[in-house]
């Protein structure tokens, strides 16, 4: 009974939210005219300076979505597939959600369209679209495409020098700091917690900086109302799975650990990932190790904020003379 009722409420919520955000399926016939020669960057820059500040108008998003050719699949996650597609010759990434993952699609779309979300270290949102009626629904999220893939893929085939390490760490910290920062005012931005930050959800840009992706689990906090807005989907975080190379705790938990296994090791036994002694012989790596240790303190209150991490890394970047 409770399950049925929850299902009903969930369906109802999605439908009412879809209406509120004008993802009304009756609108499917309508199209916006996008003149030839306009690039995605032009369209987005225009909407940033003249629009609501939260992204492209919905009809323009729908038109872009309709005009995309899917080229090839580049990845697959727990709630959908990621494709490289083309819009009038420009490469874009298209995340196609499984029909059962409407809540993830909804949340991610909503977060990307939060006012003032745009930041060079947050994956660039282009459009979202929902098609179909009844039991068959197609859910799309269109974003910038980064051909170098995720940080996870990148680390498997690249050895970083200190410069590259700092560039990645600093740009990721800038993205995270932007997410966490609440900006006050009517055109402000709530504080946002990602809740699934991991190397698979960080994408490498061409110039060696990175951006944070995958906001389907994020929560928002607004200090005016003192309310935390939690998404409808129940998936939380990622259980770490050992693949080709060794991830933290590979020797302490089974290869597909349960939350209980991880809690036992991290919270009860208070074990932390083992770091090679080699790190102590390098000034930069020593500083990174200190920073990491301060992030994984047992007591949550003594862990560093994203802003503190960003500032510490900024100093290191400066002293290494890395151009960001």
Ligand X SMILES: *[C@@H]1O[C@H](CO)[C@@H](O)[C@H](O)[C@H]1NC(C)=O
| Least spacing, CB of residue 235 vs ligand ATP, in Å | 9
Tell whether residue 77 is a contact of ligand ATP (CB under 6 A): yes
**Which residues ranging from 184 to 213 are in contact with ligand ATP (CB under 6 A)?**
200-201, 203, 213
The region, left, alpha or beta by phi > 0 then psi within -120 to 50, assigned to residue 169 is: alpha
Tell whether residue 118 is a contact of ligand ATP (CB under 6 A): no
Evaluate whether 182 touches 189 at the Cβ level (below 8 Å). Answer: yes
Contact with ligand X (CB under 6 A) among 21, 66, 119, 205: 205
Evaluate whether 56 touches 64 at the Cβ level (below 8 Å). Answer: yes
Task: Compare residues 60 and 204 and give the one whose CB is closer to ligand X.
Answer: 204
Angstrom distance (rounded) from CA 243 to CA 201: 16
Task: Compare residues 176 and 287 and give the one whose CB is closer to ligand ATP.
Answer: 176
Contact with ligand ATP (CB under 6 A) among 24, 48, 209, 238: 238
149 binds, among ligand X, ligand ATP, Mg ion, none (CB under 5 to 8 A by kind): ligand ATP
The region, left, alpha or beta by phi > 0 then psi within -120 to 50, assigned to residue 234 is: alpha
| Residues 172, 175, 180, 182, Cα dihedral to 10° | 160
Residues in binding contact with Mg ion, number by CB under 5 A: 3
Give CA 39 to chain center in angstroms: 24
204 binds, among ligand ATP, ligand X, Mg ion, none (CB under 5 to 8 A by kind): ligand X
**Which residues ranging from 96 to 135 are in contact with ligand X (CB under 6 A)?**
120
139 binds, among Mg ion, ligand X, ligand ATP, none (CB under 5 to 8 A by kind): none
The DSSP result for 13-66, as a single string, is HHHHHHHHTT--GGGGG------TT--HHHHHHHHHHHS-SSSS-HHHHHHHHH
Tell whether residue 214 is a contact of Mg ion (CB under 5 A): yes
Tell whether residue 270 is a contact of ligand X (CB under 6 A): no
Task: State the catalytic residues.
Answer: 196
Q: Is 189 annotated as a binding residue?
A: no
Tell whether residue 206 is a contact of ligand X (CB under 6 A): yes
For 90, the enclosing helix (H) or strand (E) is strand 90-97
Please state whether beta strands 191-193 and 219-222 pair in parallel, antiparallel, or not at all (unpaired). Answer: antiparallel
* String of contacts with Mg ion for each residue 52-91, x by CB under 5 A: -------------------------x--------------
**Which residues ranging from 56 to 75 are in contact with ligand ATP (CB under 6 A)?**
74-75
Selection from 210, 245, 200 nearest residue 74 by Cα? 200
Tell whether residue 129 is a contact of Mg ion (CB under 5 A): no
Residue for token digits 């874009």? 92
Angstrom distance (rounded) from CA 82 to CA 76: 6
Contact with Mg ion (CB under 5 A) among 109, 201, 233, 312: 201
Evaluate whether 151 touches 204 at the Cβ level (below 8 Å). Answer: yes
315 binds, among ligand ATP, Mg ion, ligand X, none (CB under 5 to 8 A by kind): none
**Which residues ranging from 145 to 164 are in contact with ligand X (CB under 6 A)?**
147-148
Give the interface with ligand X as residue ranges (CB under 6 A).
120, 147-148, 204-209, 323-324
Binding site for ATP, residues? 95
Give the interface with Mg ion as residue ranges (CB under 5 A).
77, 201, 214
């Amino acid at each position: 009974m409770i399950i049925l009722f929850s299902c009903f409420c969930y369906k109802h919520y999605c439908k009412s939210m879809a209406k509120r955000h004008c993802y009304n399926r009756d609108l499917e016939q309508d199209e916006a005219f996008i003149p030839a020669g306009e690039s995605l960057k032009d369209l987005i820059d225009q909407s940033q300076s003249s629009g609501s500040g939260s992204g492209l108008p919905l009809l323009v998003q729908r038109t872009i979505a309709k005009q995309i050719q899917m080229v090839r699949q580049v990845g697959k996650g727990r709630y959908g597939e990621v494709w490289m597609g083309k819009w009038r010759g420009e490469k874009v990434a298209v995340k196609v959600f499984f029909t059962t993952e409407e809540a993830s699609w909804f949340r991610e779309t909503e977060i990307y369209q939060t006012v003032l979300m745009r930041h060079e270290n947050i994956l660039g949102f282009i459009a979202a679209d929902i098609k179909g009626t009844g039991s068959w629904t197609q859910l799309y999220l269109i974003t910038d495409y980064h051909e170098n893939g995720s940080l996870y893929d990148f680390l498997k085939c690249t050895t970083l020098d200190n410069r590259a390490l700092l560039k990645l760490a600093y740009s990721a910290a800038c993205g995270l700091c932007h997410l966490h920062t609440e900006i006050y005012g009517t055109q402000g931005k709530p504080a946002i917690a990602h809740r699934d930050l991991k190397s698979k959800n960080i994408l490498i840009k061409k110039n060696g900086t990175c951006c944070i992706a995958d906001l389907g689990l994020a929560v928002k906090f607004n200090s005016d109302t003192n309310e935390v807005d939690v998404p409808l989907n129940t998936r939380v975080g990622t259980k770490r799975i050992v693949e080709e190379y060794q991830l933290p705790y590979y020797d302490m938990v089974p290869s597909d650990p349960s939350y209980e296994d991880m809690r036992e090791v991290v919270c009860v036994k208070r074990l932390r990932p083992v770091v090679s002694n080699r790190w102590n012989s390098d000034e930069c790596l020593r500083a990174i190790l200190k920073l990491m240790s301060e992030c994984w303190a047992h007591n949550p209150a003594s862990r560093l904020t994203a802003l503190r991490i960003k500032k510490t890394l900024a100093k290191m970047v400066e002293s290494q003379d890395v151009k960001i």
